[in-house]
A and B are shown apart, each in its own frame.
Chain A
Amino acid sequence: MSLKDRLRRYNIWIKFLILISGGGIFFFLFPFLLKYRYFSYGIFIISLFVAGLFFTFLYGKRGLKVIFSLWGGGTIIYFVIVTLFILKGRQPLPYIELRKPELIFYYLSYPLRLLGVFFTGLIFMQIVSPTDFTGWGKLGLTIALIFRSFEFSIERLEMTRVALIMEGLWPDPYEKKSFLKSIKLFFKGSTILVATAFRNIILWFPWAWIVFNSIKREMGED
């Protein structure tokens, strides 16, 4: 049995526990990073490595490459903005006053923490199934529909991206174009991508909802 299948068989609450612990370690560990330093740095780095490893097992090297390119792109833009914040000494947290070195540490560690959250969230998405919720009765079925809508929107997003490539409105992975041209196309295409995916969900949802209700009825009769 593959690791994915093993994880998928876990109880939904264990899956939630994985999600919450990931969120806790990567996002809310920051005050502890400041207080316990090397010990918590160690926990943080090991957790990030383990999450990355699990992510690679589940999504493959290609998935890791995609996530790194998305994260890397975002991080570059983030660093441009954050440099200004650091120079101005802008405090990031409303509840805690950070000194300059801590402030720099906070800003610089942020992308890594975000990467950890990405990993955990996507691991959760891969191991959780809509069937996990059906034991919760009507509410569970509704969650299953919402989950399906989410999966559907991801699939649609990919289909629309392919359509955009075909029409020359998205960077072609097999064509060498200048970085600036690709970035320009990427930003221009992103708006269309999101708007089209949203429109397709709107077109899909009413019928899916009706069919979902008839499925719900059939499942009750079965």
Chain B
Amino acid sequence: MVVSYMVGSEELFKELKIDIRPGTLTLITGYEGMETYILSGIIAGLFPIEIDEFVEPLNEILKYFNGKLTVHSGWLPAGAVYVGRDPEKHILFSRVYEEIKMRSSKPDIVLDIMETLGMGEDFINRKISTLSGGEMMKLALSLALAKKSELYVLHGIFGWLDKTVKLQLTKILIQRMQSESGIVVIDEEYAHLLEFASKSYFFDGKDIHPDGQRELEQFRIKISNVIDDINALLEEREDKNNRKLVFRNVSFSYTSVDKERSSFSLKGASFNICNNRIYALIGRNGSGKSTVAKLICRVHRPDSGEILLNGRALVKYTREELVKEICYVGQFPEHQLVYSSTGEYKRAARKNRNEFSFNFLQRYFKESIPISLLSPYQMKVLLLLSNIWDSTELIILDEPTWGIGLSEKAEFYRILKEIVESLDGVSILIITHSSELLENLDCSVIEIENGVIREV
């Protein structure tokens, strides 16, 4: 198909040519931002929409939704099944069984797909708010894939899924292709799909390039080089005898915090994080990776056992001290960014006498931009730079490159490298599903499975 899309007087896309056919898989990767959302929405038939009246605070976002679409030629089904990056937007009800009952006339098929994706019957009665991000995505996918459609558009979903689920999902997609459905995957995690794709494109935010393998390879090399640099830098300084963080027999369950999540528990977890080293925390969806991060940041308190930071019990730290020693960048930066503009962050850094952070912010955010207008990549960078201190000893990155495009991934790691260079000694804990990232990192791996932690 060949399409153009006008937003006001601006030509957002000019004669984009994408080959989408029944029974084939089309892969689009590269840039990630508002333009990618619009592109996926156009392919899925969500855009344009008619808006009678604009609401002031939403103007900047809504104007992209009701542009003028011209289909010059080719196949664009009227109603595709669409699953986007944020599974919460696909969930309408409060509980898993309500969602299945109301959204599908074939609940058995939904349950089968859920089972295939690793969600057993024990999930049926769960409240949606108690599901982890990955579990919520699996539910959204099960509901979507249970429907028969000429075209399935999946945007940014693979970053949510662990390795086993990715393979299972790929199998389901192949089955759908065999039933003559077209599949479009827009994702920065694409390597495992390449062999099944009839076409792969590189999207740069404006144009789409057929057979963009060369561009992709260039970015891959760039990312790999920056990560190698970080590895080398830390290797020079590595001090295995200096234990920065110690988890000693830590047990935790949500029973005291949230009854509905009582099935999850961490059982006697023990591991160490040494000075100047990168660690990867891996595990299946809902295994408790983010809970470990929250325990380190003292959002939760262990039921038993202790956590030591630099040999001192975490409970003995004041919050002010913790803020200066641990930098946490969550998977969803918009949940963590509490000021309304980049300018306010700079002012806060000045007020807190955090010159280290201020100088970085000044360099990367010269103008004051409202948070609502930042791209996911800019939000991550802002969060990283605003939470960093010259005294930071541990950086926790929860799915650091989730939701950001390939070109921006390289830039994100370059900024991280700059930070590591400027600090005397720092350890990095990366929580990730990305096998690509794990292959690049020379790191110690900590795996969490069924509440048990082991160092791999």
Contacts and interface: CB of A to CB of B under 8 A. Distances in A.
Interface of A: 60, 62, 129-131, 134, 144-145, 148, 151-152, 155-156, 159-160, 162-169, 172, 174-175, 192-193, 195-196, 199-200, 202-208, 210-215, 217-219, 221-222
A162 B65 CA distance: 32
Contact of B94 (A130, A160, A172, A215): A130
Interface string B35-48: 00100010010110
A25 B131 CA distance: 37
Interface in B54-79: 57-58, 61-62, 65, 79
Given A62-B256, A211-B84, A129 B98 contact: yes
Contacts of B456: none
A134 B94 CA distance: 13
Given A163-B338, A217-B79, A131 B84 contact: no
14 contacts: A145-B92, A156-B335, A159-B335, A160-B335, A163-B330, A165-B299, A166-B297, A167-B323, A168-B323, A174-B315, A175-B318, A205-B58, A206-B62, A207-B86
A144 to B, nearest CB: 6
A218 B92 contact: no
B315 A211 contact: no
| Dominant SS among interface residues on chain A | helix
Contact of B104 (A148, A211, A222): A222
Interface string B289-320: 00000100111010000000000000100111
Interface residues of B, number: 58
A215 B65 contact: no
Contact of A151 (B81, B94, B147): B94
Nearest to B64: A206
B101 interface: yes
Nearest to B383: A163
B103 A202 contact: no
Nearest to A152: B88
B429 to A, nearest CB: 15
Given A145-B92, A165-B299, A203 B334 contact: yes
B318 A199 contact: no
B338 A167 contact: yes
Given A163-B336, A199-B371, A206-B62, 12 more contacts: A130-B92, A163-B338, A167-B387, A168-B322, A168-B323, A175-B318, A196-B338, A202-B57, A203-B334, A211-B90, A214-B82, A222-B104
Interface in B323-342: 323, 328, 330, 334-340
Contact of A174 (B46, B79, B298, B334): B298
Given A165-B319, A172-B298, A206 B58 contact: yes
Contacts of B323: 166-168
